[in-house]
Amino acid sequence: MADWQEITGGVTAPKGYRAAGITAGLKPSGLPDLALIVSNVEAIAAGVFTTSQVKAACVDYCRQRLQAKTSARAILCNAGQANAATGSQGVRDAEESAELLAKELNISTELILLASTGVIGQRIKMDALRSGIPKLVASLSETGSDAAAGAIVTTDLVTKSIALETTIGDRPVRIGGIAKGSGMIHPNMATMLAFVTCDAAVSPHLWQQMLSRAADKSFNSITVDGDTSTNDSLIALANGQSRTPAITEMGAEAEKLEAMLTAVCQHLAKAIARDGEGATCLIEVQVTGTHDDLAARQIAKTIAGSSLVKSAIFGRDPNWGRIAAAAGRAGVPFEQENLQIKLGDFLLLENGQPLQFDRAAASAYLKQAATDYPSTIKTQRLDNPVIIAVSVGNGHGTGKAWGCDLSYDYVKINAEYTT
Amino acid sequence: MADWQEITGGVTAPKGYRAAGITAGLKPSGLPDLALIVSNVEAIAAGVFTTSQVKAACVDYCRQRLQAKTSARAILCNAGQANAATGSQGVRDAEESAELLAKELNISTELILLASTGVIGQRIKMDALRSGIPKLVASLSETGSDAAAGAIVTTDLVTKSIALETTIGDRPVRIGGIAKGSGMIHPNMATMLAFVTCDAAVSPHLWQQMLSRAADKSFNSITVDGDTSTNDSLIALANGQSRTPAITEMGAEAEKLEAMLTAVCQHLAKAIARDGEGATCLIEVQVTGTHDDLAARQIAKTIAGSSLVKSAIFGRDPNWGRIAAAAGRAGVPFEQENLQIKLGDFLLLENGQPLQFDRAAASAYLKQAATDYPSTIKTQRLDNPVIIAVSVGNGHGTGKAWGCDLSYDYVKINAEYTT
């Protein structure tokens, strides 16, 4: 059905990109902690950043850069220190990072974008960064996506990566993406980060519009614990190296590209939700029947974010009452006589009233979606979510949201990593 | 400092009220489950109800009653069945409950208000209710508040009750209240309920205004798990039996009465937060420096509701990063350079940047606030909350919110009560 196919290669699948990930000594663990994505030519750049009032230095840096110039060559990301709540010295550290990389790449500083993840209140370990950058640039490779994906994680259990290919004007066009995030953890490890590369030629304004819409339908529609980070960043490059005709306004080709961009973002977003702290399953909430899509997404997010719904799913309890209560408090008006709730294939509530259903079978449905990660990580299933389908009326609005269940391990992870 | 003193007697402390609580056989547990509060004369009545789109029959019933008539004689509350998502039969059950009670009290049906708490989707056990009502009315007593408070609980660990007294025009005036609530539990047990009695003479419009403002500063400022119930109800009666001059507009006496009403509501709200599922401590968040009070309360509620902050407090971890992140995502603009965070007496963040502090001592401060309930329940301490004080600027807005920590037992309670 989809107008594209999955390919390998992550952010280096699109033409004209290289990536790298190394251990620079920023993380105390000695795991990879410095990542770089480079486009061989200047690429159109768009970004979506945290709406928090408490922002990391890199977020302010990227916002200013992208306001001044809608193109870029490189994205540098460090893991270990969030460089948030670090004051003016944090700002200078961010600027120095960009300058060091620009010199090493022999390009203008204004073509560098930055991201950080790690402990809030900690500055980047600049000595380690300074000695790491030459090594990082030397490691750049056209197959470097996995190394980059592995160097942006903090306490994620799996790396997140995807690449899709379609055709535009009979030529192949690719979008690749990597992401990290599983809550705000260990003890202040924060951040949802996602980097997307594309080799289509798109105008800057259109690319930003597409990215903002795709973010709403993906990263802005997932919830692990409701806590927006200080460092959340989604950055997307489009470098035109597919040699396809430039897309400058909406139309069939733009829609095709945007749909594929949305699919890439949704894959990464679901991977983040499934990797939520302590999660044993992915939950997809589908809402229909609202006046518009925004309202549907709002209800979907409220249900996906409800601690009570999440606890019930962890308990394998087909508890429609909590789903109904969450839908009711989402801030979207509807008639409760129109409320319908399905869990997988089980119709639990119709016309606002409970139905008889096979409780054991519904509980078994919840069990099959739960898969503990194997002890050797790096794999996750996204194809068997718990599906909660809610209809609230006859409107044409639809929306989806993704989340995960709430387990003992969530509390354990967040309570026991005492500083 | 306060302009009143605490007295005994709960909702029967004010003059001209009787109350009762009995076991009518609605709860499977055989515990008390039917409560009644009666004013000897027609009382001004005001109410604040759930904003959820999915509402219990009693909520619609009370809203309609109070729109048609701003006075009442009695509040009937059943525990065990929420009578929410029960359709037209649920509406008829609510109406029949009111008619039965009116007949037994020999008053007009339109003077009866209703509340329900218990399992969503279950109708009230009408046979048990029918045979219970005569017994309930026969049990009415001027010292019946504790019996009523004990009959409205579901899985609460303690009953919640308070009474305060002040003077208006040199005569004593009293406000009493009882409440229940500790989340939405076991497995669909829902609801925050609070009933307040007062013997002052107040005009209906003013009484409703006072109650709405008091609710915003109390029940609307607590959060256990962010899940608004289908049955939340706060009902307040004022019967004039103190024989004080009628209060019909704002002024010194109205302000005095409203302050005491707010204190009663805040006591009950804190008692509910402290009794949150699995909680080991009460958390009070104090926010200052916003443009207005609403913005301050919004930040305070966001911090009190953050799963990450709540987990950290349970872990006795003075984790200012999570507090800063929660403040930042509350939707209230501020300059992060102005952010200041105190935990008890410990200043953790100033001018948006972390300070050195005695981490062991701050953790010890968190420990002292944590008190497990004794195995024999019915007592709770509200005088040693964890205090998180946040300042975001130089504005004059202030606001408070209350919550509790997030423990393993929260997940256990909500996951393991599988239906």
> Where are chain B's structural domains?
5-274, 282-416
- Which chain B positions have a beta carbon within 8 Å of A188's beta carbon? 319, 321-322
Q: Give the range among A300-309, A341-350, B227-236 with minimum mean pLDDT.
A: B227-236
Would the CB atoms of A415 and B53 count as touching at under 8 Å?
no
Q: Closest partner residue to A190 among B312, B325, B416, by Cβ? A: B325
Can you name the residues that pair with B309 across neighbouring β-strands? Answer: none
Average pLDDT score over residue span B121-144: 96
Residue B130 tokens read as 């029918």
CATH topology assigned to domain A282-416: Ubiquitin-like (UB roll) (3.10.20)
Contact assessment for residue A128 and residue A22, using Cβ atoms and an 8 Å cutoff? no
Residue A277 annotated as binding site = yes
Q: What is the DSSP-derived secondary structure letter of residue A406?
A: -
Task: Give the pLDDT of residue A287.
Answer: 98
Is ipTM > 0.85 here? no
Q: How far is A359 from chain B (nearest CA, A)?
A: 8
How far is it, in rounded angstroms, from Cα A16 to Cα A176?
12
Residue B115 tokens read as 């509340």
Whether residue A190 has pLDDT greater than 90:
no
Would the CB atoms of A416 and B315 count as touching at under 8 Å?
yes
Confidence of residue A228 (pLDDT cuts 50, 70, 90): low
Whether residue B418 has pLDDT greater than 60:
no
Whether residue A184 has pLDDT greater than 50:
no
- Which chain A positions have a beta carbon within 8 Å of B118's beta carbon? none
Average pLDDT score over residue span B338-361: 94
Digit-coded pLDDT (tens) for B22-73: 999 999 999 999 999 999 999 999 999 888 888 899 999 999 999 999 999 9
Residues 176-215 of B with CB under 8 A from A: 183-184, 187-188, 190
Q: Closest partner residue to A227 among B54, B55, B325, by Cβ? A: B325
- Token match 């007496």: residue? B345
Contact assessment for residue A67 and residue A94, using Cβ atoms and an 8 Å cutoff? no
Please tell me which residue in A191, A223, A290, A302 is annotated as part of the active site. Answer: A191
Whether residue B410 has pLDDT greater than 90:
no
Residue A419 annotated as binding site = yes
Radius of gyration of chain A (CA): 22
Q: Give the range among A286-295, B179-188, B325-334 with minimum mean pLDDT.
A: B179-188
Q: How far is A352 from chain B (nearest CA, A)?
A: 6
- Kindly state whether A317 is in contact with chain B, defined as any CB-CB distance less than 8 angstroms: yes
Closest-CA residue to B26 (of B154, B139, B179) = B154
Confidence of residue B199 (pLDDT cuts 50, 70, 90): very high
Nearest CA in chain A to B230: A325
- Residue count of chain B, please give it: 419
Mean pLDDT estimate for chain B: 89
Would the CB atoms of A85 and B336 count as touching at under 8 Å?
yes
Task: Give the pLDDT of residue A227.
Answer: 62
Q: What angle do CA A268, A272, A275 make, to 5 degrees?
A: 135
- Kindly state whether A81 is in contact with chain B, defined as any CB-CB distance less than 8 angstroms: no
Contact assessment for residue B156 and residue B275, using Cβ atoms and an 8 Å cutoff? yes
Burial (CB < 10 A; 0-12, 13-18, 19+), residue B137, is buried
Task: Give the pLDDT of residue A169.
Answer: 83
Mutation choice for A interface testing from B122, B123, B336 by most A CBs within 10 A:
B336
Would the CB atoms of B120 and A324 count as touching at under 8 Å?
yes
How far is it, in rounded angstroms, from Cα A266 to Cα B83?
39
Q: What is the DSSP-derived secondary structure letter of residue B405?
A: -
Q: How far is A326 from chain B (nearest CA, A)?
A: 7
Would the CB atoms of B306 and A227 count as touching at under 8 Å?
yes
Residue type, B66: L
Digit-coded pLDDT (tens) for A130-147: 999 999 999 999 999 999
Q: How far is B80 from chain A (nearest CA, A)?
A: 15
How far is it, in rounded angstroms, from Cα A267 to Cα A260?
11
Residues 8-47 of A with CB under 8 A from B: none
Mark out the alpha helices in A56-125 (DSSP H runs).
57-68, 87-105
Residue A385 tokens read as 């979510």
Contact assessment for residue A304 and residue A402, using Cβ atoms and an 8 Å cutoff? yes
Confidence of residue A419 (pLDDT cuts 50, 70, 90): very low
Question: Which H or E run includes A241?
Answer: none
Digit-coded pLDDT (tens) for B360-383: 999 999 998 887 654 444 567 888
- Cα distance between the two ends of chain A: 49
Whether residue A226 has pLDDT greater than 80:
no
- Which chain B positions have a beta carbon within 8 Å of A327's beta carbon? 53-54
CA B102 to each of CA A305, B64, B73, B147: distance values in angstroms, whole numbers, following the listed order = 43, 17, 10, 21
Task: Give the pLDDT of residue A401.
Answer: 93
Concatenating the DSSP letter of every residue in B127-171 gives HHHHHHHHHHHHT-BTT-HHHHHHHS-SS-SS-EEEEEEEEETTE
Whether residue B288 has pLDDT greater than 90:
yes
Digit-coded pLDDT (tens) for B86-131: 889 999 999 999 999 999 999 999 999 999 998 888 999 999 999 9
Task: Give the pLDDT of residue B278.
Answer: 82
Task: Give the pLDDT of residue B188.
Answer: 45
Task: Give the pLDDT of residue B118.
Answer: 87
Cis peptide before A385 (omega within 30 of 0): no
CATH dotted code for A5-274: 3.60.70.12
- Kindly state whether A54 is in contact with chain B, defined as any CB-CB distance less than 8 angstroms: yes
Concatenating the DSSP letter of every residue in A347-377 gives EEEETTEE----HHHHHHHHHHH--PPPSS-
Would the CB atoms of A332 and B53 count as touching at under 8 Å?
yes
Closest-CA residue to A202 (of A70, A40, A113) = A70
Q: Closest partner residue to A52 among B305, B318, B325, by Cβ? A: B325
Average pLDDT score over residue span A236-261: 93
Contact assessment for residue B174 and residue B406, using Cβ atoms and an 8 Å cutoff? no
- Cα distance between the two ends of chain B: 49
Average pLDDT score over residue span A226-230: 67
What dihedral do alpha carbons A103, A107, A113, A115 form, nearest 10°? -30
Is A418 assigned a catalytic role?
Answer: no
Known binding residues of B are: 154, 180, 191, 277, 414, 419
Digit-coded pLDDT (tens) for A79-124: 999 999 888 999 999 999 999 999 999 999 999 999 999 888 899 9
Whether residue A59 has pLDDT greater than 60:
yes
Task: Give the pLDDT of residue A376.
Answer: 43
Would the CB atoms of B320 and A121 count as touching at under 8 Å?
yes
Confidence of residue A183 (pLDDT cuts 50, 70, 90): low
Nearest CA in chain B to A225: B307
Digit-coded pLDDT (tens) for A60-83: 999 999 999 999 999 999 999 999
Neighbours of A343 (CB within 10 A): 23
Would the CB atoms of A411 and B415 count as touching at under 8 Å?
no
- Token match 């219990």: residue? B56
How far is it, in rounded angstroms, from Cα A381 to Cα A384?
7
